[in-house]
Amino acid sequence: MAVCVIRRHGLLWRCLAGNGRCPRPGCALGSSHRLAWMKSTRPASRLWTVTRTVIRDFSFEIGWFRGIFQTGLAANNVEYRLSGRIRMKIVSLVLFLFCSGCAAMDAGLQPASGGSGVPGRAAYIDTVTGMEFTAVPGGCFLMGDVLDIGDSYERPVHEVCLSELRIGTYEVTQAQWQRVMGDNPSRFKSCGQYCPVENVSYSDVQGFIEKLNAQSGRNYRLPTEAEWEYACRGGGKPQKFCGGEDVEDVAWYAANSFSSPQPVGQKRPNGLGIYDMSGNVSEWVQDYMYNYLPNKADNPTGPSAGTFHIVRGGAWDVTADATRSSYRNYVASESRKSDLGFRLVAPLAP
């Protein structure tokens, strides 16, 4: 039986359609469809009746509710195919379509504001992987526990000044890793190709960067810790999470992730249009672990050697506190974890 669930502002509707399979033609395992197909076939007519007036005003996502159906079905995730790259957004509305024996459909909706959260902020798209990068203007900010709610290793708060940069709009996905490296090391392969790649060590990431640079002729790299926090906070704003004060709006974490990473770009972006800097997977940064100093710093890069590297952002399996914008964690440089991935910085020169 197909079960359709709509969740909007905490309200929950349930509607049933089908008897062991989807009631309309064209819904096959692995298939994808555009909005016109959904309107014409109405795979769950009661679902459409409830949402048809809402769809005009809100972007929405169709996907699998993890943990209810068998792994084979949970492996299929929605693809948003717009202008040759993935664009995903949710604005106050999350729509899940579950079909026992059929695939999730490609909604094909144009996200609000053109899809990146802030119009015109996409600075560069990598020609090898399709990775999108967002411009982050240079400036100075107070780095660390500016809200005085964190741990001692998030202090002292200190001034940092940074040059302009371009940082990945999304975490690097499994498909992008596969395209460069020819394999997929992720433990959550069933999550789908648009889920973040994980289970990669710092050295693995450096190998990916080396190959990508050779293929693209560019000089990609990991962000420094300071660049990461500055971008997360939308240019250094004193925000609790990367994009606001409500963790539910911006992050996949233990309380809402269904015990798995999720496809990138589904939560609300921060003010610069960057997604998933809080939650989903923690992210490697360039710096070895070190204690903050009170001194002002210009484009700091951290120590030149060490045993542990800093990871930022928190992940799908941690508490909300660990997804805060100033929260610091560190792991051994050769660690491979199912909640640890990365995003890149692109060079400014074209």
Point out the residues of the chain with pLDDT beneath 70. Answer: 1-122, 350
pLDDT at residue 123, rounded to an integer:
80
Q: Name, in order, each residue with C-beta under 8 angstroms of 72's C-beta and a sequence gap of 6 or more.
A: none
Distances (CA, A) of 23 to 27, 64, 68, 100: 9, 18, 20, 11
The whole-chain average pLDDT of the chain stands at: 75
What is the reported pTM?
A: 0.69
The per-residue pLDDT for range 196-249, each reduced to its tens digit, is 999 999 999 999 999 999 999 999 999 999 999 999 999 999 999 999 999 999
Cis peptide before 111 (omega within 30 of 0): no
Which residues of the chain form CATH 3.90.1580.10?
122-346
pLDDT at residue 122, rounded to an integer:
65
Q: Name, in order, each residue with C-beta under 8 angstroms of 120's C-beta and a sequence gap of 6 or more.
A: none
In angstroms, rounded to a whole number, what is the distance separating the alpha carbons of residues 120 and 123?
A: 8
Instruction: Specify the fold of 122-346.
Output: paralog of FGE (formylglycine-generating enzyme) (3.90.1580)
| CB of 311 closer than 8 Å to CB of 330 | yes
| CB of 27 closer than 8 Å to CB of 98 | no
The per-residue pLDDT for range 115-130, each reduced to its tens digit, is 333 333 568 999 999 9
Coil, strand or helix at 2:
strand
Q: What is the DSSP letter of 111?
A: P
